């Protein structure tokens, strides 16, 4: 159970980083 929670937390952190990178890339792309 604890291993599942740890993996889930790690996946959430990775997903959060990917979302942040995607948002930054989108903002940079929109920048004139």
Write a three-state SS string for 3-27.
HHHHHHHHHHHHHHHHHHHHHHHHH
Please tell me the distance from the alpha carbon of residue 27 to that of residue 30, in angstroms, as a whole number: 5
Residue 32, pLDDT > 90, answer no
Count of beta carbons in the 10 Å neighbourhood of residue 12: 10
End-to-end CA, the chain: 49
Mean pLDDT to the nearest integer, 14-30: 97
Residue 10 has a pLDDT of: 95
For residue 27, give its domain range.
Answer: 1-32
pLDDT tens for each residue of 2-19: 888 899 999 999 999 999
The number of domains in the chain is 1
32 versus 11: the higher-pLDDT residue is 11
């Amino acid at each position: 159970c604890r291993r599942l929670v740890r993996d889930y937390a790690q996946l959430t952190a990775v997903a959060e980083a990917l979302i942040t990178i995607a948002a930054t890339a989108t903002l940079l792309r929109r920048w004139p």
